A = this chain, B = another copy of it.
Amino acid sequence: MKTMIEMQKKLLPDLLDVLKQRYEVLRQLHLMQPVGRRSLAAALGMTERILRSEVEFLREQGLIRIETVGMKLSDAGSDLVAEMEPLMKDLFGLTDLEKRLATHLHLKRVIVVPGDSDQSDWVKKEMGRAVARILKSIAQPDQVVAVAGGTTLAAVAEMMTASSSLKETTFVPARGGLGEAVELEANTIASQMATKSGGKYQLLHVPDQLSDEARETLIKEPHIQEVVELVRSARIVVHGIGDAKAMAERRKSSPQLLAHLQQEGAVGEAFGYYFAPDGRIVYYGRSIGLTLEDLAGADNVITVAGGSDKAASIAAVCPAVGGGTLITDEGAARAILPM
């Protein structure tokens, strides 16, 4: 049986936000007391009015006392702050991880879901749900979302739910198919995400492994060119991160390439690029679709990858992809961060 906390997160995630906010007010007040509304609001980074409402509430609950010199915690208030500390750590320990990861990897936003996808497979679904929520929240009319392939992205597609805000969204694959299991192909995932969310989609029916001439020929095809244009115009990109060795084998790469990758110490893969632990690109398997340069033009690059054994890959790829959003799990997050 899951804990009470897990249930609350599912059934009242909105209330947990206000819980956190109120606790933060209490905690900050505890540190600064006695203090006035305005200085406290500034310290907490909230407007005066909103803090005022919280203060009013906390006063009615008898947790803080208001005096002419400022506000102070009442006895009940300081007791509560002390008692709640471990609970809040449980509830929002991940928030802390998120902040540290964001600064460590220079990302705009990091979301960490509890668990480790190496050990429990529902964790991948949780990451998927998180991605779905983000997509919903940043949705804009007539946007294009490019999605990559892989098991993690498949989980994302599975967790998409219908939403009116995604109705005018077009999902496209980021690159041509990988020539592997069809349910992990970007094409499949793009169409599944569109179906589940109520959006539209366009597919890119080209193989991944192509000779240069074949690629040049294909790319001139009008209907392919059209889709490629669409893909490269995507303002939102969702992709996973692969383990370099596993990806190379899945793509049936030549023994030479495998040896090269191993020699260079490649650990992570994304969009056909293979990365060394220091973020250096050690190989690029060209295909049709998004390139790293295109990512710079996207407003939202959403990276989703988890599992403690992918920690090195994530740490290698993220800096190269640029400071977007990372959705990962607790296992990977703790493995990435220096202790």
The chain A residues found within 8 Å of chain B, CB to CB, are: 1-2, 4-5, 7-8, 10-13, 15, 18-19, 22-23, 26, 59-63, 66, 76, 80, 83-84, 87, 129, 133, 136, 159, 161-163
Contact = CB atoms under 8 A, between A and B. Distances in A.
A5 B7 CA distance: 13
A15 B13 contact: no
Contacts of A66: 162
Given A80-B7, A83-B2, A83-B7, A163 B13 contact: no
24 contacts: A1-B83, A4-B87, A7-B80, A7-B84, A7-B87, A8-B19, A8-B87, A10-B61, A10-B63, A11-B18, A11-B22, A11-B84, A12-B15, A12-B18, A12-B22, A13-B61, A15-B15, A59-B162, A60-B161, A60-B163, A62-B129, A62-B159, A62-B161, A66-B162
A92 to B, nearest CB: 13
A124 to B, nearest CB: 14
Nearest to A26: B11
A1 B80 CA distance: 10
Ranked nearest first, the 3 interchain pairs of A and B with the lowest CB-CB distance are: A62-B161, A11-B22, A11-B19
Q: How many copies does the complex hold?
A: 2
Nearest to A196: B62
Contacts of A22: 11-12
Contacts of A18: 11-12, 15
Given A12-B22, A59-B161, 12 more contacts: A4-B87, A10-B61, A10-B76, A11-B18, A11-B19, A11-B22, A11-B80, A12-B18, A13-B61, A59-B162, A60-B133, A61-B161
A1 B159 CA distance: 37
B136 A60 contact: yes
A50 to B, nearest CB: 16
A331 to B, nearest CB: 21
B80 A10 contact: yes
Contacts of A60: 133, 136, 161-163
Contacts of A63: 10
A91 B98 CA distance: 31
A66 B23 CA distance: 36
A163 B19 CA distance: 22
A2 B86 CA distance: 12
A147 to B, nearest CB: 19
A129 B60 CA distance: 10
Contacts of A163: 60
Nearest to A136: B60
Contacts of A26: 11
Contacts of A62: 129, 159, 161
A162 B59 CA distance: 7
A185 to B, nearest CB: 24
A60 to B, nearest CB: 6
Nearest to A56: B164
A133 B57 CA distance: 12
A67 B237 CA distance: 30
A10 B61 CA distance: 7
A19 B9 CA distance: 10
A161 B162 CA distance: 46
